[in-house]
Amino acid sequence: MAFRHKSVAVLIKDGVKNSNERLEFLGDAVLGSVVAELLFKLYPYKDEGFLTEMRSKIVSRANLNQLSRKLGFNEMIEFDARMISYPNKQGSLLGDAFEALVGAVYLDKGYTFTREFLLSRIIKPHVDIQTLEVTETNFKSRLIEWCQHNNKEISFVQVDNPEGESNKMFSVVAVVDGEECGLGRDFNKKSAEKIAAERACEFLKIFEE
């Protein structure tokens, strides 16, 4: 289930499909918690802004996509083969599957096991935190510059949260020329905008330019 994309999902009940989207939602929260704790302990004298920026770098779609390829997840994901002809639709497919796997492990083994699994098998051997610390990844600025260069309108719009999601969470959509290109959610509005910008960059294939 963790590797089943919504493009090949089957409706099971009350409009819910048996895709990895629900697991992705759960995995996103678990991964964010594990990374936040790691950074809190790793950088005892850094402020909230720095920690938030570092967390964003580690859990960014670009980084999770890269991790997924390194771990061979791209060979396991079930998705509609027609998506190959539309690269823009593939943007966050790998990163979404990574988060869905985290959600599945959490449901099966619990938080403690998942935390150790992520730290010992994924983050420590495959994520160079020191390099990320000095890497500039301002996706919002990059998206705005791209839009200016290509004469496109860009705006970040706050939207209502999905039913059942905490009201403390901010949901922001990056809108380019009237098209919704990326959704970001976080407890901090600026962080939500950064996530939306990153996903818009993925959707628009700006990383490859």
pLDDT for 94-128, tens place per residue?
Answer: 788 899 899 999 999 999 999 999 999 999 999 99
User: Is the fold of 1-136 the same as that of 138-209?
Assistant: no
> Residue 205: what pLDDT?
76
28 is catalytic: yes
Q: Provide mean pLDDT across the span 36-61.
A: 90
80 is catalytic: no
Give the CB-side neighbour count of residue 147, counting CA atoms within 13 A. Answer: 21
Q: Provide mean pLDDT across the span 137-160.
A: 88
Q: 99-102: list long-range contacts, CB under 8 Å, 24+ apart.
A: 99/23, 99/24, 99/27, 99/28, 99/31, 99/64, 100/1, 100/2, 100/3, 100/20, 100/21, 100/23, 100/24, 100/27, 101/2, 101/3, 101/23, 101/27, 101/73, 102/26, 102/27, 102/28, 102/30, 102/31
Give the CB-side neighbour count of residue 27, counting CA atoms within 13 A. Answer: 23
In the numeric block, which tokens belong to residue 81? 């083969």
> Residue 112: what pLDDT?
97
Distance of alpha carbon 130 from alpha carbon 125, whole angstroms: 13
Catalytic residue among 24, 96, 99, 198: 99
Whether pLDDT at 161 is above 90: no
> Residue 162: what pLDDT?
65
> Residue 90: what pLDDT?
46
H or E stretch including 49?
Answer: helix 48-58
Catalytic residue among 14, 21, 24, 28: 28
> Residue 187: what pLDDT?
82
104 or 73: which leads in pLDDT: 104
- Report the predicted TM-score, pTM, of the whole model to 2 decimal places: 0.65
Query: In one letter, which amino acid is 11?
Result: L
181 or 3: which leads in pLDDT: 181
Report pLDDT digits (tens) over 7-46. Answer: 545 555 555 555 677 888 899 999 999 999 999 999 999 9
Class of domain 138-209: alpha beta
CATH of 1-136, one of 1.10.1520.10, 3.40.50.300, 2.40.100.10, 3.20.20.80: 1.10.1520.10
Listed by start position, the domains of the chain span 1-136, 138-209
> Residue 41: what pLDDT?
97
